[in-house]
A = this chain, B = another copy of it.
Amino acid sequence: MDVTLDDLARLVGGKVTGDGKTVIRAVNGIREAGAGDITFLANSKYAPLLASTKASAVIVADGTPAPIPALSVRNPDFAFGKVAEHLNGAASRPPAGVHPTAVVSPKAVLGKNVSIGAGTVLEDGASIGDNSVLHPQVYVGAEAVIGPDALIYPQVVVRERCRIGARVILHSGTVVGSDGFGYATDKGVHHKIPQVGIVVIEDDVELGANVTIDRARFGRTVIGKGTKIDNLVQIGHNVVLGQGCLLVSQAGIAGSTRLGNYVVMAGQSGLIGHLEIGDGAIITAQSGLTKDVPAGGVMSGSPASDRRTHLKELAALSKLPEALQEIRKLRQEIEELRKKTKE
């Protein structure tokens, strides 16, 4: 699909510098781009690559100079996403209908225009909303509900009675509704505590690949509207996530912890159970939280403390080997002074 830079400016609302008639055929990275490609610059770390990129045009933030035809916008990431979507067309979706090898209970309920892939299993009372796509080899348990316009990739499991909202995307290998990790230990035996609750995934959530979301012991584990979760993240039973949270890969949350809205957990960070995390809090990578966090808190370290405190401690630690030598010197000098004052 060929368009001009001027066309793209009309699409995303930016301002062109250089030749607006430049023809654009595809999107690409700043290193990989060639003639006919448009690239973008969102991270200033890559600004030096602009001088040598072979792209025909670039999307930059307002005020950023560019040596090639450019489209200046408020949010280059967002604009580039829209351009990519425009140039690639809507992602191809499988045709509507139920594949002959799918195993759909006569008691399952299918909306209009759904696509059910090969080998996918829908148990009694499972319900799929209009226009939803279930790729091959998906499992949807009894009485589970999937909303409209969902996109479920191959080999996802949604266990019985869980509820998935509209426009939700679930990537391969993800398990929604496995039992929470709960045992009552009595005389050396770990007795399983029944996990009779469900998982509720609200609208516009996306879960990455091989994510695990445990069902509640009773009641609901909740993933709030518009929250995005990366690969291999663990969400324990009865956890409640607010809206618009971002959980990066390999983060984990133990049972019954509650997050506000727009909380960010960076990669490999962890929260113990039964915490309250305020709106907009940020947990930095590999940090381990053991205490509640107020709204807007930024926490680092394991165990985590306020980020500024943590950075001060790290800076101090880097001076510690020298400080220990200094202490030894002070000791010697004091001994010498003592001798002198005794004289």
Residue on B nearest A236 in the bound complex, by CB: B249
B157–A219 touching, CB < 8 Å:
no
| A contacts with B, residue count (CB < 8 A) | 120
Which residue of B172, B228, B238 contacts A181 across the interface (Cβ within 8 Å)? B228
Residues in B with CB closer than 8 Å to A80 are 184, 193
Complex formed: what's the CA distance from A155 to B80 in Å? 34
Complex formed: what's the CA distance from A66 to B84 in Å? 60
Complex formed: what's the CA distance from A235 to B53 in Å? 26
Residues in B with CB closer than 8 Å to A81 are 182, 184, 191-194
Q: Give the number of copies in the complex.
A: 3
Which residue of B190, B194, B219 contacts A226 across the interface (Cβ within 8 Å)? B190
A217 interface residue, CB < 8 Å from B?
A: yes
Residues in B with CB closer than 8 Å to A340 are 341
Closest approach, in angstroms, between the C-beta of A2 and any C-beta of chain B? 17
B118–A118 touching, CB < 8 Å:
no
Residues in B with CB closer than 8 Å to A228 are 181, 183, 190
Which residue of B85, B159, B248 contacts A194 across the interface (Cβ within 8 Å)? B85
Which residue of B45, B121, B181 contacts A208 across the interface (Cβ within 8 Å)? B181
Q: Which of A186-230 contact B (CB under 8 A)?
A: 186, 188-194, 196, 206, 208-210, 212, 214, 216-220, 226, 228, 230
A319–B330 touching, CB < 8 Å:
no
B286–A267 touching, CB < 8 Å:
no
Complex formed: what's the CA distance from A244 to B320 in Å? 38
Q: Which of A137-158 contact B (CB under 8 A)?
A: 137, 139, 141-142, 153-155, 157
Q: Jot down 25 A-B pairs with beta carbons below 8 A, ordered by A.
A: A29-B216, A29-B219, A43-B274, A45-B274, A101-B101, A119-B119, A121-B136, A153-B178, A154-B157, A155-B175, A169-B179, A172-B175, A172-B178, A175-B209, A179-B206, A183-B246, A190-B226, A190-B244, A212-B231, A232-B234, A267-B272, A268-B268, A270-B285, A303-B314, A337-B341
7 interchain residue pairs of minimum CB distance:
A78-B184, A77-B184, A178-B209, A81-B193, A212-B231, A139-B154, A175-B209
